[in-house]
Structure 1
Amino acid sequence: MKSDKEKNQDDRKSLYTYWHELGFFSEKEAKNIEQVRQSEIKWFIIKYIRDGVEDEFGRKHNLSRRHAFSAKELHEAYLKSPNHEECSLSNFHFHIKSLVEDGYLKEVARILEGRHYVTYYGRTSIIFFDQFEGPLQTSISQDFFDPLKILIKTMNSDLEVDYINQLVEDHLKAIVDFFSRFFSWIKENYPQIYNSKIDLHTFTQIASHYSIFHPGLQKTSKEIGSLIGLDKIMDYERYF
Structure 2
Amino acid sequence: MRTSGGLVPDTLPDLHRAAGVLFDLDGVLTPTAEVHMRAWQKVFDQVFARWGIEPPYTDADYFAYVDGKKRYDGVASLLRSRNVEIPWGEVSDPPEAETICGIGNRKNAAFATALRSEGIAPYPGSLALLRSLRDAGVPMGVVSSSKNAEEVLASAGIRDFFRIVVDGVVAERGHLASKPAPDMFLEGARMLGVEPAAAVAVEDAVAGVASAASAGYGSVVGVDRGAGPDVLRAAGATGIVDDLAHLLADAAR
TM-score (norm 1): 0.25
Q: Larger relative contact order (C-alpha < 8 A, sep ≥ 6)?
A: 2
TM-score (norm 2): 0.24
Mark the structure with the bigger radius of gyration.
1
